[in-house]
């Protein structure tokens, strides 16, 4: 990808796609605008299908065919409907790991909370926050991040 500089377009930090995948608000808003105001998860899935489809097509010139997306990656992207896997999202959203304290299911976090109750203020109740900014499924965090979620 990108003249063989990175394996995934989202890893090329000088593009709007990487910025959007990293949570930059203006990039997210741009993709939503381009795709008719659809939710970001739908807009980025549509864009990923377009990006990977175009990137898998050889340009027809030997000196310009560097960084072609392998057909296996394109096939997997199509089968997945362009959706971003939770594992990829987590890898790109480091702040949830540091400031969110712990990530997991509600049951997992409740067990962690109970096991380490002495680490929390007495007034703290066992409440957890759903993760924001993407389709995380049932994942939650101990601390609800309000500002600069994707730092």
The residue ranking higher by pLDDT, 79 or 14, is 79
Q: Considering the domain boundaries, does residue 149 fall inside one?
A: no
- Residues 43, 26 share a domain: yes
11 and 79 inside one domain: yes
**Residue 9's pLDDT is what?**
65
Report pLDDT for 32.
Answer: 93
Asked, for residue 148, whether it belongs to a domain, the answer is no
pLDDT at 7 over 70: no
Is residue 120 located within the same domain as residue 47?
no
Q: Per-residue confidence at 146, pLDDT binned at 50, 70, 90?
A: low
Say which residue, 118 or 55, is predicted with more confidence.
118
Domain that holds residue 134: 92-141
Number of independent structural domains in the chain: 2
Among the residue ranges 41-45, 58-62, 67-71, 107-111, the one predicted with the least confidence is: 58-62
Under the banding of pLDDT at 50, 70 and 90, the label for residue 151 is very low
For 109-134, the pLDDT digits (tens) are: 999 889 988 988 888 888 888 877 66
Name which residue leads in pLDDT, 9 or 81: 81
The string over 8-26, giving b where at least 16 C-beta atoms fall within 10 Å of a residue's C-beta and e elsewhere, is: ebbebeebebbbbbbbeee
């Amino acid at each position: 990808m990108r003249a063989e500089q990175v394996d995934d377009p989202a890893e090329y930090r000088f593009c709007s796609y990487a910025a959007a995948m990293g949570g930059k608000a203006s990039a997210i808003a741009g993709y939503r605008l381009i795709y008719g105001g659809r939710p970001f998860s739908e807009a980025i899935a549509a864009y990923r299908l377009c990006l990977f489809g175009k990137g898998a097509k050889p340009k027809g010139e030997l000196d310009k065919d560097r960084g072609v997306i392998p057909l296996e990656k394109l096939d997997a992207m199509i089968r997945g409907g362009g959706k971003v896997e939770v594992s990829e999202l987590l890898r790109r959203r480091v702040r949830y790991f540091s400031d969110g304290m712990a990530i997991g299911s509600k049951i997992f976090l409740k067990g962690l909370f109970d096991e380490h109750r002495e680490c929390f203020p007495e007034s703290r109740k066992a409440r957890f926050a759903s993760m924001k900014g993407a389709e995380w499924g049932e994942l939650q965090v101990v601390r609800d991040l309000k500002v600069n979620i994707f730092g």
